[in-house]
Amino acid sequence: MDKLSVTLVTVTRRDAARNWQHIIDTGRAFLAAQRPLRLNDVAREASIGVATVYRHFPTPEALLETLARPALQDLVAYAERALADDDEWGAFAGFLTVGIDAQLADAAVQPVFAAATHELPETAELVGRLDALTADLLDRVRAAGLIRPGVEHADVVRLMCGVVFAASVHATPAERAALTRRYLDVVLDGLRAR
């Protein structure tokens, strides 16, 4: 390859990376404003060609999952550390707290958790890993006799979604964090073995 070709390839890659980041930033702004992620709207708002947006993100779900990926990766890392904690209940409750905080802090996280299928293989892998780690943390508190008998993995997942939903629907943004913690404390108290 001659010097001019190398320069053109380098410039093209930089432009692609800049466009990708601009699409991500615009997508985040849409979520913050509670606007639906319609790729044509994102392209228009980002002043990027529609074809470029679709080349990076073939569906709105792919963009949403990409936006959620950093938070999902952080949750996986936290859960892995929690499994090494000697305090089974503290690790379990701490992970649920961090999971709820992630859903409140990043509007992409909850819809990705709730989706029945995932567009991107790495998202499916992360969500599957989180699901398995949640089950492992639950198994640890169950083995230690710290959780009420009969509480299943699906119960915990649904209860956490319910806590976030209740705080999101019935509170102002300024009240959500405190209200979510209060609801989570009530749920954890109800889950704990007596």
- Which of 86, 115, 93 minimizes the C-alpha distance to 163? 93
Orientation angle between helical segments 121-143 and 88-105, nearest 10 degrees: 150
Are 151 and 167 a contacting pair, CB within 8 Å? no
Count of CA atoms in the C-beta half-sphere (13 A) of 62: 12
- Which pLDDT does position 192 carry in this prediction? 94
Could you tell me if 92 and 172 lie in one domain? yes
Q: How many domains does the chain have?
A: 2
When pLDDT is averaged across residues 36-57 and rounded to a whole number, the result is 95
> Of 58, 78, 105, which one is at a domain's C-terminal end?
58
Q: Which residues on adjacent β-strands are paired with residue 192? A: 147
- 172: domain CATH number is 1.10.357.10
Are 50 and 38 a contacting pair, CB within 8 Å? no
Could you tell me if 117 and 174 lie in one domain? yes
- Which pLDDT does position 4 carry in this prediction? 46
Distances from the Cα of 193 to the Cα of 57, 106, 111, 148, angstroms: 46, 32, 31, 4
- Mean pLDDT rounded to a whole number for the chain: 91
How long is the chain?
194
Are 76 and 129 a contacting pair, CB within 8 Å? yes
Q: What digits encode the pLDDT tens for the residues 119-129?
A: 999 999 999 99
Could you tell me if 98 and 153 lie in one domain? yes
Q: Which residues on adjacent β-strands are paired with residue 147? A: 192
- pTM attached to this predicted model: 0.87
User: Could you report how far apart the first and last alpha carbons of the chain are, in Å?
Assistant: 72
- 48: domain CATH number is 1.10.10
> Of 58, 86, 101, which one is at a domain's C-terminal end?
58
Are 141 and 192 a contacting pair, CB within 8 Å? no
Q: What digits encode the pLDDT tens for the residues 134-175?
A: 999 999 999 999 999 999 999 998 999 889 888 888 788 888
Rg of the chain over all Cα atoms, to the nearest angstrom: 20
Could you tell me if 91 and 23 lie in one domain? no
Could you tell me if 76 and 161 lie in one domain? yes
Q: Which residues on adjacent β-strands are paired with residue 52? A: none
Are 146 and 100 a contacting pair, CB within 8 Å? no
Q: Rounded to whole angstroms, how far apart are CA atoms 13 and 165?
A: 41
Could you tell me if 50 and 69 lie in one domain? no
The burial of 67, by beta-carbon neighbours within 10 Å (0-12 exposed, 13-18 middle, 19 or more buried), is given as buried
Could you tell me if 91 and 124 lie in one domain? yes
Could you tell me if 68 and 44 lie in one domain? no
What does the DSSP assignment read for 109-138?
HHHHHH-SS-SSHHHHHHHHHHHHHHHHHH
Could you tell me if 119 and 184 lie in one domain? yes
Domain enclosing residue 20, as ranges: 1-58
Could you tell me if 100 and 47 lie in one domain? no
Could you tell me if 67 and 152 lie in one domain? yes
Could you tell me if 64 and 53 lie in one domain? no
